[in-house]
Amino acid sequence: MTMNAPSSRPPLIELRGVTKIYGRGQASMQALRGIDLRIEQGDFVAVMGPSGSGKSTCMNILGCLDSPTAGEYLFEGVEVGALSRDKRALLRRNYLGFVFQGFNLLNRTSALENVELPLIYRGTPASERHEQAYKALEAVGLEAWASHTPGELSGGQQQRVAIARAIVTHPRVLLADEPTGNLDSARSVEIMELLQHFNQELGITVMMVTHEPDMAVYAKRCVHFRDGLVEKDLANGGVV
């Protein structure tokens, strides 16, 4: 899949009038009511809002895990909805990384093997796979724990492994869903500093759902959702 941007260089991500309706008739529920959103390369956006505001639906659409009912989702100017299922899978595999609140690690495999998983799906040869996964663990400060299983790691260490797994493919965008939700304050700060580092030093664009204002201040922007709409879009981590 070619993602060459024209000379005018569109935003990395753009949502135009995106709506999402679940169900039909009287049982239908409109999760998004016409979202317009632009995300530039290198941005760090915290997405906030009460339960049911549409933030998770928006993230699922950005991650190609769901599709809009109406409107457009463009990635580097390419209309994602016009891509085939296989090409959307390639977009997800080659351009996006995912971090979840629950870590989503395989319990019986080592940290290194967990980080290798996206490379296995890509068909990366074993020797190259091991090297890249080890470098990703080094980037999150866990190379000494490469052979440890998740059960032998703290919650903060498990989330670091999850972040290593997300960045091992060198994604353009990191989508993080409540990445500090299961961590104490000290470990939460460590994870946020790590995400901030990858954003500032490697230029990875970060989209992060959080309900914690003290975590949102690490972002460059804070987008507030309410009732399926963008209520506020504040610069410099504004969270009020």
Q: Given a cut of 80, is residue 45 above it in pLDDT? A: yes
Percent of the chain with pLDDT over 90: 84
Provide the β-strand partners of residue 233. Answer: 223
Q: What is the mean pLDDT of residues 127-144?
A: 95
Q: How far apart are CA 111 and CA 157, in angstroms?
A: 10
Percent of the chain with pLDDT over 70: 95
Tens of pLDDT, residue by residue over 117-127, are 999 988 899 99
DSSP output for the chain: ---PPPTT---SEEEEEEEEEESSGGG-EEEEEEEEEEE-TT-EEEEE--TTSSHHHHHHHHTTSS--SEEEEEETTEEGGGS-HHHHHHHHHHHEEEEETT----TTS-HHHHHHHHHHHHT--HHHHHHHHHHHHHHTT-GGGTT--GGGS-HHHHHHHHHHHHHTT--SEEEEESTTTTS-HHHHHHHHHHHHHHHHHH--EEEEE-S-HHHHTTSSEEEEEETTEEEEEEETT---
pLDDT of residue 48: 95
Q: Given a cut of 70, is residue 239 above it in pLDDT? A: no
β-strands 96-100, 173-177 pairing: parallel
pLDDT of residue 240: 46
Q: Which of 44-53, 96-105, 132-141 has the lowest mean pLDDT?
A: 96-105
Q: What is the mean pLDDT of residues 108-125?
A: 93
Domain limits, the chain: 41-67+85-235
Given pLDDT bands bounded at 50, 70 and 90, which one contains residue 4? low
β-strands 70-75, 13-22 pairing: antiparallel
Q: How far apart are CA 52 and CA 152, in angstroms?
A: 35
Would you say domain 41-67+85-235 falls under CATH 2.40.50.140?
A: no
Average pLDDT, the chain: 91
Tens of pLDDT, residue by residue over 157-199, are 999 999 999 999 999 999 999 999 889 999 999 999 999 999 9
Residue whose pair of structure tokens reads 């299922």 in the numeric block: 85
What's the one-letter identity of residue 88?
A: R
pLDDT of residue 146: 96
What's the one-letter identity of residue 141?
A: G
Q: Given a cut of 80, is residue 236 above it in pLDDT? A: no
Asked whether 67 and 127 are in contact (CB, 8 A), the reply is no
Q: C-alpha distances in angstroms, 189 versus 43, 160, 179, 192? A: 19, 12, 11, 5
Q: What is the pTM of this model?
A: 0.89
